[in-house]
Amino acid sequence: MICKLEPFYLRNVLLYLKSLSDITNFVCINKMAFEITQSLYINPYSLPITTPIKTILKIFPRLETLFLPMEIYRDLSDLETSGNFLFEFRRCPCDIEGDGLYNHFFDVFSTEWYPKRVRKMYVFRREIQSLSTNIDRFDKLIELIYFSPVRPIYVNDIITILNCFTLRRVTLGIDTSYTRVLEQIDFEKYNKISFYLLINILENIDIDEETITKIRCLPQNVNVHVSFITKKVHTNPFLKNISLYKFKTPRCVVTKISNDALGESNLLKYIR
């Protein structure tokens, strides 16, 4: 009996293959996989780490979106003439304090070609003002992830960015020391956007009842996630690598608090 994978499953397998040799081997043992490579609209997620972009474009002729993983950290200017595909760009937070190639990334915010090709992007504190200044250029931006904790001085820039008419999903990081930004942003005004707030509980500043009250007043288009790490988890050698959403504090565990659950009497006990 021969078991054949449906095209949908073949496509998912291809997207998670890590190298060109992996893809070649898979195509050799599965004839249908070659047809799938010719129809993929997005490249395998890890492939740009080991394979030049020009090679990827030849292998996937119908590419509509170029996904660049967080391990890619480079000057993007040579992509201007490489095709008409859109970008989904993800970067590693540990690199944000570096200089050199990093500066080339937000230099492209003010160009004519780059903003018009970005669909999803991760930004950090050093870039937020530049993005705010050039947000009108980003007419295809659907999703924005801002993992750096939102500081009050950046709230106006955040609000300017939220006025981008194409935005549909925004993720913001918030420390417990700056929860007043929850009141400074009118989330209800941007009802076409689904917000995901990642509240990071600092070691010396716990979440308090005032913050819980602010969360309770948030509209339904806001999803709240709270980081917490118990002593039991912290000392367990088998659980130290837990990471659902990455916060600045290492080994944070994340739990979601839905709006419907905010009325529970044991909420404070639960999130601590």
227 DSSP β-pair partners: 254
DSSP result, 124-146: -GGGHHHHHHHGGG-SS--EEEE
Regarding predicted confidence, which is higher, 255 or 181?
181
The reply to whether 211 falls in a domain is: no
What are the angstrom distances between the C-alpha of 34 and each of 26, 27, 193?
9, 5, 38
Kindly report, residue by residue over 138-161, the tens digit of the pLDDT: 999 999 998 778 888 899 999 999
β-pairing, 169-175 with 143-149?
parallel
User: Residue 135 has what pLDDT?
Assistant: 94
Instruction: With a cut of 90, say whether residue 270 has pLDDT above it.
Output: no
- How far apart CA 23 and CA 42 sit, in angstroms, is 14
The reply to whether 20 falls in a domain is: yes
Other beta carbons within 10 angstroms of residue 91's beta carbon come to: 21
The reply to whether 35 falls in a domain is: yes
The reply to whether 33 falls in a domain is: yes
Buried b (16+ CB within 10 A) or exposed e, 144-162: bbbbbbbeeebeebbebbb
Taking the alpha carbons of 171, 172, 175, 177 in that order, is the dihedral positive or negative?
negative
Instruction: Kindly state the greatest CA–CA separation across the chain.
Output: 65
The reply to whether 255 falls in a domain is: no
Residue type for position 21: S
Please count the structural domains in the chain. 1
Buried b (16+ CB within 10 A) or exposed e, 193-224: bbbbbbbbbbeeeebeeebbebbeebeeebbb
Instruction: With a cut of 70, say whether residue 21 has pLDDT above it.
Output: yes
What are the angstrom distances between the C-alpha of 41 and each of 130, 145, 183?
30, 22, 40
Q: Which of 52, 41, 54, 48 has its CA nearest to residue 11?
A: 41
User: Minimum mean pLDDT among 49-63, 129-143, 214-228: which range?
Assistant: 214-228
User: Residue 158 has what pLDDT?
Assistant: 94
251: left (phi over 0), alpha (psi -120 to 50) or beta: left
- What stretch of H or E contains 12? helix 7-15
Instruction: With a cut of 70, say whether residue 241 has pLDDT above it.
Output: no
Residue type for position 266: N
Q: What is the span of the domain harbouring residue 24?
A: 7-63
The reply to whether 146 falls in a domain is: no
The reply to whether 55 falls in a domain is: yes
Kindly report, residue by residue over 65-119, the tens digit of the pLDDT: 888 876 565 566 677 777 778 888 766 554 444 444 455 566 778 888 888 888 9
The reply to whether 162 falls in a domain is: no
- How far apart CA 47 and CA 216 sit, in angstroms, is 43
Residue 38, token pair as written in the block:
């010719």
Distance of CA 244 to the CA centre of its chain: 12
